[in-house]
Amino acid sequence: MSKKEIRKVLVANRGEIALRVIRACHELGIRTVAVHSSIDEHALHTRFADEAVCIGPGPATQSYLNIPNILAAAELSGADAIHPGYGFLSERADFAEIVGRCGMTFIGPGAQHMRVMGDKIEARACAVRAGVPILPGTGLLADGEEALEEATRIGFPVILKASAGGGGRGMKIVRDPAKLIQTLETAQAEAEASFGCGDMYMERYIDSPRHVEIQVVADRHGGVVHLLERECSIQRRHQKVVEEAPCSVLSESVRKAMCEAAVGLCKAIDYYSLGTVEFLLDGDQFYFMEMNTRVQVEHCVTEMITGVDLVQEQIRLAMGGRLDHLDRHHAARGHSIECRINAEDPVTFGPRPGTITALHFPGGFGVRIDSHVYQGYKVSPYYDSMLAKVIVHAADRDRAIRRMRRTLGECVIEGISTNLPLHRWLFKQEAFVSGKYDTHFLEASMDPEAVLREVDPYT
C-alpha cells in the first residue's frame, strides 16, 4: 500500500474517546471535525476540535449511529478520514465499507476483519486454523435438543453465547441440564433484542478464570507486533471495571506463548490496524475468547507501560505506515492501573444521570485523567455512563496500588452518584492487593455496606 496522507479527520464519536482522538490528531498536525447530538452541543470534544457539526437529536440512533448524517458531515467539512473511536460504529463493517466507497480513509481494520471477528463462531474457527487454543464448544445451535446433546458431550457447566454478541449480553451460564433449554430461549431473546440476531453457540465454562488480553498492532505490509498484555478480571456483569498492565500472575513462558498466539492469529487473517486478542486464563492454560477490532477503552495502561501512543499509531497505520520503528520485544516499564469512573449507583450499578455540581480531578506524579466532564456538565441518560478513566503508573504493582488509593481519595464528583466508593473499597481488599482474584470477585465478595461507607473517604 502506498503512503496516503490524511489532512482532516472526522471523529465519529463523543466523550473522552473523541477528545483522545482529537488530541492525537492535533499532535500529528491533522485538523479535526467533531460531530455531536443536539444535547452535546457544549461538550468538550466540540470545543477542542477545529470544527463541529450537529448530526441529530439526543438518541444515539438519530445521531452517533446515524450513518447518512455522519457521512454528510464529513462531506460538508471536507474530511478525508473518519475515526470511529470505540463503541457506536467502531465495529460496523458496513460503515467501514461505505466510508471507503465515499473516497475517505477509515481509521481501523478492513471490513472483512470486522466481519470475521464479529462472528464469534467464525472467529473460533480462525483461531483453530491459526493454532490458537480454544475451549471445547459448538457451532450454531439449531435448537434446544441439539444444545442438550452438545452440552452433554462438552460437560457441564457450559456457557451460552450470542454469535453476534459482546458486552455480556446474551451470555448465560448453565449448570443444570434441566434448565438448559429454557435458558437458551432466554439468551436467544436477549441476543435478538440487543444485536438483531438470536444465533447462539456454546462453550465449556471455566469457574475461576482470569481475563487477560493482548494488544496487537499490525501494518498493511505484513508487520505485526504485540505490546504485551492487560489484566481485565475485575468485572461486573461481564463489563470491565479495573484494568492493569502487566498481569501479575503470568509466568514469562505463558506470557510469551499468549503473545505469540495473538500475533499468529493476526498474521493468519492478514489483519492490520490496532486490535486486542482476548483470552481466558485457567492456571497456566489459556483459551481464545474473542478479538476486538478497534482501540480499547483500556488502551491507556498499555501506553503507560510501553511509551507508545496507540491512537497516533492507529492513524499512521491508516496512512500506510510501517511498524519498523516499534520494538518487537517489549518489556514492561513499571505497572499501570486504570479505574473506570461511571455515573452509576456503586452497589446496584444502575445508571445515575444528572448534573455535576462540583468536580475535582486528582493529579501528581504518575497520574493521568482521561475525561470529558466538567463542573456543570449534564450526564445524559442516552449514552454510556462513563465519566472518566483514572490511570496511574508506578515502578511496580504495590506502588501503583498505593498511588491509586491516594488518587481515588482526592477525586471529587458531586451532584450525581458514581462508582468511586466501589473503587475505594476494592483497593483495600487483600484479595485484590495480593492478586488472588478472578472474574467473579466483585459478584462474590462485594460488601454493599462497606462500599457505601466509602462515599466520602474523609468523613
**All domains in the chain, ordered by first residue:** 8-107 (3.40.50.20), 136-204 (3.30.1490.20), 210-452 (3.30.470.20)
Helix (H) or strand (E) holding 241: strand 239-245
Per-residue pLDDT of the chain (459 residues; tens, 9 = 90+): 567 899 999 999 999 999 999 999 999 999 999 999 999 999 999 999 999 999 999 999 999 999 999 999 999 999 999 999 999 999 999 999 999 999 999 999 999 999 999 998 999 999 999 999 999 999 999 999 999 999 999 999 999 999 887 767 789 999 999 999 999 999 999 999 888 899 999 999 999 999 999 999 999 999 999 999 999 999 998 899 999 999 999 999 999 999 999 999 999 999 999 999 999 999 999 999 999 999 999 999 999 999 999 999 999 999 999 998 886 667 899 999 999 999 999 999 999 999 999 999 999 999 999 999 999 999 999 999 999 999 999 999 999 999 999 999 999 999 999 999 999 999 999 999 999 999 999 999 999 999 999 987 654
CA atoms of 127 and 163, how far apart (whole Å): 15
Query: Coil, helix or strand for 375?
Result: coil
Of 19, 10, 55, 37, residue with least CA distance to 386:
19
CA atoms of 264 and 451, how far apart (whole Å): 43
Is there a catalytic annotation at residue 328?
no
Catalytic residue, chosen from 294, 352, 397, 424, is 294
Residue 413, all three cell numbers: 464528583
CA atoms of 413 and 390, how far apart (whole Å): 13
pTM: 0.94
